[in-house]
């Protein structure tokens, strides 16, 4: 018996072809698409605008869910929720919903684990398992979309996903095809209809992906996990720097900004005694002088087994002051969900035998 077709992996023309092969008229594809991405239906039985016979056939031959929630954790303030999901092959991933007064942001994963291997990141220490498909990426958003539709009014009043950040587990540009297909699906005006500028892709600095993104038609936001201002230190903190060192990375970023005229966000995790010294701040300021960008300083989020910690507040403020004096746009990010290991660098796939922290 063949495995059921996972409909969320199909672009609209593919869905049309799949239904046509089963003798269905063209308009059924639009009905089914709307059920999946507008009504957020997760069960064929609820798709009552489809004939009963088609619903039965879909239940036998297709699937619209690949993620099975195994655990959910809620931060003490109720504004951050993390889900641990299991896929049909037994692999696991985490995704996070962050609630604000007027928006709901979902942080999605693009891979199970990560091959970059940053020593301060729990995901990297767990190792790489596999890429996620476009449907598996999109379904993370659909899951939280359903949750918001059911209960959002009781939380902050926001009842739909407003923003998506591809900053969870994995390196999006190492899984470019599926990542971009997911972005297009999320943007589709006949579906979830998320604005391109409400989506952000974060990369550790894969130059080919940056140059490719510059040629795409949708103006999504770009974030760079920088974390160091010198090659010697970044080689240690972000090992992909050995392949794409800072000069090469910034040549690509200058080409990106020249082509798109869009600002780049630089994520900089401050680690006490490692990358928070004034000389790093001065070097970072020199690197970014005149560049169309903004620095997000992130106090390091703790991971089990690591002795690395965030600097004390005065050291962080001193680092920020150096950037401000050099007229570099900068802010200190207030992390959400640290108490439930849902913040930047804390997500894990939870598989037995995963790598141990440094």
- Report which secondary-structure segment, H or E, holds 346: none
pLDDT of residue 306: 79
- The catalytic residue positions are 94, 344
Query: Residue 16 pLDDT more than 80?
Result: yes
Q: Mean of the per-residue pLDDT values for the chain?
A: 92
pLDDT of residue 347: 75
For 171-206, the pLDDT digits (tens) are 999 999 999 999 999 999 999 999 999 999 999 999
Mean pLDDT across 88-103: 94
Sequence-ordered strand ranges (E) for the chain: 5-6, 62-63, 68-74, 80-86, 92-99, 104-107, 111-113, 128-131, 163-166, 199-203, 221-225, 264-270, 293-299, 330-332
Residue 358's pLDDT band, with cuts at 50, 70 and 90, is very low
Question: Is the distance from CB of 284 to CB of 268 less than 8 angstroms?
Answer: yes
Residue 348's pLDDT band, with cuts at 50, 70 and 90, is low
Query: Residue 357 pLDDT more than 80?
Result: no
pLDDT of residue 307: 86
Query: Residue 15 pLDDT more than 90?
Result: yes
* Residue-range domains of the chain with CATH: 5-63 (1.10.150.530), 68-340 (3.20.20.70)
In the chain, % of residues over pLDDT 90: 83
| Residue 61 token pair | 């031959």
For 107-140, the pLDDT digits (tens) are 999 999 999 999 988 887 888 999 999 999 999 9
DSSP letter for each residue of 113-136: E-SS--TT-HHHHH-EEEEPPHHH
Mean pLDDT across 2-31: 96
For the chain, how are helix, strand and coil distributed in percent, rounded to 5? Answer: 40, 20, 40
């Amino acid at each position: 018996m063949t495995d059921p077709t996972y409909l969320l992996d199909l672009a609209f023309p593919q869905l049309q072809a799949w239904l046509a092969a089963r003798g269905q008229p063209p308009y059924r594809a639009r009905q089914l698409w709307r059920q999946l991405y507008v009504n957020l239906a997760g069960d064929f039985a609820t798709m009552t605008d489809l004939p009963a016979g088609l619903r039965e056939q879909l239940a036998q031959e297709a699937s619209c869910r690949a993620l099975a929630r195994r655990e959910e954790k809620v931060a003490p303030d109720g504004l951050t929720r993390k889900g641990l999901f299991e896929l049909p092959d037994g692999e696991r991933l985490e995704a996070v919903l962050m609630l604000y007064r007027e928006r709901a942001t979902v942080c999605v994963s693009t891979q199970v684990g990560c091959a970059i291997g940053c020593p301060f990141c729990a995901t990297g220490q767990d190792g790489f398992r596999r890429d996620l498909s476009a449907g598996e990426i999109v379904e993370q958003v659909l899951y939280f979309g359903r949750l918001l539709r059911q209960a959002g009014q009781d939380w902050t009043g926001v009842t739909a996903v407003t923003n998506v950040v591809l900053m969870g587990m994995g390196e999006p540009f190492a899984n470019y095809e599926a990542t971009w297909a997911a972005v297009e699906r999320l943007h589709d005006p006949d579906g979830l209809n998320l604005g391109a500028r409400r989506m952000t892709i974060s990369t550790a600095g894969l130059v080919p992906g940056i140059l490719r993104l510059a040629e795409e038609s949708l103006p999504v936001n770009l974030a760079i996990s920088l974390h160091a201002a010198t090659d010697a230190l970044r080689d240690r903190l972000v090992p992909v720097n050995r392949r794409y060192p800072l000069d090469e990375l910034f040549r690509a970023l200058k080409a990106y900004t020249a082509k798109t005229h869009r600002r780049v966000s630089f994520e900089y995790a401050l680690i006490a005694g490692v990358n928070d010294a004034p000389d790093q701040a001065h070097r970072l300021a020199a690197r970014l002088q005149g560049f169309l960008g903004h620095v997000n300083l992130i106090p390091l989020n703790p991971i089990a087994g690591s002795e690395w910690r965030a600097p004390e507040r005065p050291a962080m403020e001193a680092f920020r002051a150096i950037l401000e004096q050099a007229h570099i746009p900068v802010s200190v990010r207030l992390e959400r969900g640290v108490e439930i290991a849902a913040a930047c660098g804390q997500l894990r796939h939870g598989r037995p035998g995963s790598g141990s922290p440094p």
